[in-house]
Structure 1
Amino acid sequence: MQVGPGDALGAAEALTLIELGDRASVRAALKATLLRRHEQAEIFDAAFELFWRDPERAAAAAAFALMEAQKPEEKSKPGGRRIAEAMAGDRPKPPPPPPEEQPRQLDAAMTVSERERLQTMDFEAMSAAEINAAKQEIRRLVLPLDERPTRRFRTDPLGPRVDMRATLRATTRQGGEFRAILRRRRITRPPPLVAICDISGSMARYAQILLHFLHAVTNDRERVHSFLFGTRLSNITRQLKHRDPEIAFEMVSHMVPDWSGGTRIGEALEDFNRHWGRRVLGQGAVVLLITDGLDREGGRGLAEATDRLKRSCRRLIWLNPLLRYAGFQPKSQGIKAMLPHVHEFRPVHNLASLRELIEALGEKKRR
């Protein structure tokens, strides 16, 4: 949670208007002045309760929350590790141990560097500092797409086709004197890239990281369209085109009201097919569908909407963070309805999975 001087002054002024002896009033005043997004409420409540505990109990709770957040296989509370680090940061550091007479020699031959460890770490288990490092790595990623031929041609002296029309026009301009045969070549360009990302409660942490990926891709290439959905579909293409990521995400937060809410995948895909499919899915578009497949409606109408989306694009890639588990099986009704109607099914939970996706998009596929 980013709190600036203006927020602190607003919170201090709000505390002068209430009864300080009432903890509920203090909580409500601080939440009204410090919170900007709906998903920050749960983090604020956890930090508020942890702050007012006994110091020794708070230290033990912070250590326990830090240990729980480091478990990749178990889902911890949102922001648990960041809260533990924030609470632990104000305590005085213990004195350094006395230097040893004989320094120990460590064999680092089989150790892994910090950057390599970051590549395989789950986004859900990252701390605030590791998330910032991951965002920096995402901004360096380059997304190549194989170029596709279009219907248009351009003049090229070494082109494979004879441009008879241009040749006759040039002959006419020269008074009927024939000088040279003009040639042309078909114009090629990368296909459009369309990203449809789930921002429901189960996908909130992954969506925050993947938004940086979509922002970097949008500002790196043309014809990129981004959509977010929870209980409704929102087009954020124009907002992500802003060069400054903080300003772009601030605009997105004001535009999208259903962060960390429910999930209606079928209705969102049906809305996309009806209102946006013909606009953005032309010329062999590639679609990235980012969701865990856990639909609140139980998969109603999901198979038909996914099948229509598959038939409207050249390549439909489903990115699911649940594939990070080795024993994953498609048991939910939403996953069973969607899985037969996608071209590829890939994980998206760390930087390594994003790099594998980029390599897959760069491969040339046969028509």
Structure 2
Amino acid sequence: MNHTVLRGVDRAAFAVAFVDRLRHAGVPAGLTDVDDLVRALAASPPVEMSTLYWTARISLVRRHTDLAAFDQVFAAVFADAPPLPLARSAGSTGRRDDVHVPVPAATDDAGPGGGLPWATLPPAVAETREPDAPLRLPERRPSALATLAERPFEELDSAQLALLGDALRAAVAGWPTRRTRRHVASRAGRRVALRPTIARARRTGWEPVEVVRERPVRRPRRVVLLCDVSESMRAQATAYLHLMRAFAVVADAEVFAFATTLTRLTVALRHTSAAAAVAQASAVVTDRFGGTRIATNLRALLASRHGNAVRGAIVVIGSDGWDSDPPAELATMMARLRRRAYRIVWLNPRAGIPGFAPRVAGMAAALPYCDRLLPAGTFQDLTDAARQLQSVTCTDGLKRPTLTPAPRIIA
């Protein structure tokens, strides 16, 4: 079996280095010539030195006046070259021919620069000296979001809350749409549009030659968020502002903050900068970290001009349920809200605590009118709640569960 001359040598590196020496000698070889040499060596690996000579000469030399310079460079490179790159060593048996060989030591007779410049450096990862050593895998560390999954909001700084905002916007990026009663002309529609079809039939003597079809228009399901920013929700207030901003930017939602009064934050939270939006929203809410009047704020919402936004919408209420209004009044307002809204979802930061029971008066009064009660006390809870809201939107046939409050109510 004949061994090739350049066995174990990177052909592309050899061609680039050899052409570089030819250029220093005055031979005008370009990138096309390098590509021709690499393709020729791959198509017919040279077995003898004469074959390599003619392959390189035909690929690189274009003028008769350059033959003398080419012969001089070829002789300087291969006349006294050491045999390391041309034959295999005893310890390299059983390996592939394209494995790179180490660079030999530089000598004075090896041409300008010394050594063989086309030989690729050895791999950066050395083999272990102990053959029986166990395999060591790289340590996999959690991402920045994974490390914050179970941490409560009061332990997060501003940068980590900004990551939360980005994660929430990504969670609601594919907000689903709903079918409306309006229709638009479309060739893929299944329904015949009578008025456009009859209007075009006037041109053909009232014969409907061209039938116009239409399809229903789909729009994103409307979302209305009401988040508690009272004293009992101090730790979750900023995180809930990021949640409201995510829905306001992505799903075109109407968002409100409430403590003792109701404040609309839709315009403020649609700012392009998340930090500026949260700072502006915090400045707009004048009763932040005060008392809580959930029933009063729901009455104010339904009586205002924004009350029509609740019709057919998913209403999300983020609160721990502590309310200074009477529980019966809250139950009355929740009943009115349920008749007007499509679904009602309550986010409670304490719902994820083991052994949680809705025994607070406000939470117990509102729970029978809620479709879902979701925990929202940690980073992971809030992102999961944002994804579950999409499933509530997609489930048109969702039945309202029959929820009963706990027997004992703590006022």
Q: Shorter-chain-normalised TM-score: which range? A: 0.5 to 0.7
Answer yes or no: is 1:157 the counterpart of 2:154. no
Which residues in structure 2 correspond to 1:1-367 (within 5 Å)? 112-174=142-204, 176=206, 178-222=208-252, 224-276=253-305, 278-282=307-311, 284-363=312-391, 364-367=394-397
Alpha-carbon distance in 2 for matches of 1:277, 1:308: 15
**Which amino acid is 2:380 matched to?**
A
CA shift, 1:362, in A, is 2.3
Take 2:240 and 2:250, find their aligned partners in 1: how far apart are those partners? 15
Q: Secondary structure at the match of 2:386?
A: helix
TM-aligned CA deviation for residue 203 of structure 1: 0.9
1:134 counterpart letter in structure 2:
L
Q: How many residues align?
A: 261
Change (3 A) 1:178 1:338: closer
Give the Cα separation in 2 of the matches to 1:193 and 1:366. Answer: 15
1:122, distance to aligned residue in structure 2 (A): 1.6
Letter in 1 for 2:315: V
Query: Deviations for 1:307-358, whole angstroms, at most 9, x for unmatched residues?
Result: 1111111110000001121111122211111111111100112232223223
Question: Structure 1 residues 281 and 128 mapped into 2: Cα distance closer, same or farther (>3 Å)?
Answer: closer
The SS at the match of 1:302 is helix
Distance 1:136 1:278, change over 3 A: closer
SS at 1:172's partner residue? helix
CA distance, structure 2, for counterparts of residue 204 and residue 198 of structure 1: 9
Q: TM-score, normalised by structure 2?
A: 0.58
Q: Could you say if the C-alpha distance between residues 164 and 121 of structure 1 is closer, same or farther in structure 2, counting changes exceeding 3 Å? A: same
Three-state SS of the structure 1 residue aligned to 2:149 is helix
Q: Pick closer, same or farther for the CA change 1:253–1:167 going to 2, 3 Å.
A: same
Change (3 A) 1:163 1:107: closer
Q: Which amino acid aligns with 2:339?
A: R
Q: Secondary structure at the match of 1:197?
A: strand
**Runs (5+) with no aligned partner, structure 2:** 1-135, 398-411
Contact in 2 for aligned 1:266/1:300 (Cα 8 Å): no
**What's the Cα RMSD here?**
2.5
For residues 216 and 300 of structure 1, the distance between their equivalents in structure 2, rounded to whole angstroms, comes to 33
1:55 counterpart residue number? none
> Per-residue deviation at 1:133?
3.7
Once the two structures are TM-superposed, the CA of residue 251 in structure 1 deviates from its matched residue by: 3.0
Identity level (%): 29
With CA pairs under 8 Å and 6+ residues apart, which has the higher RCO, 1 or 2? 1
Q: Quick check: 1:158–1:183 contact (8 Å CA) kept in 2?
A: yes
Query: Which secondary structure state, in structure 2, belongs to the residue aligned with residue 322 of structure 1?
Result: coil
Tell me the distance in 1 between the aligned counterparts of 2:173 and 2:342: 17
Measured in 1, the distance between the counterparts of 2:173 and 2:366 equals 26
Extract unaligned runs of 5+ from structure 1: 1-105
Matches of 1:254 and 1:130 in 2, distance apart? 21
Partners of 2:166 and 2:182 lie apart in 1 by: 38
**Structure index of larger Rg:** 2
Q: Report the Cα offset of residue 277 of structure 1.
A: 5.6
SS in 2 for 1:189: strand
Checking the alignment, whether the CA contact within 8 Å between 2:227 and 2:257 is kept in structure 1 is yes
> With structure 1 as the length reference, what TM-score do the two structures score?
0.65
| 2:322–2:362 CA contact under 8 A, matched in 1 | yes
Residues 259 and 293, structure 2, Cα contact 8 Å, conserved in 1:
yes
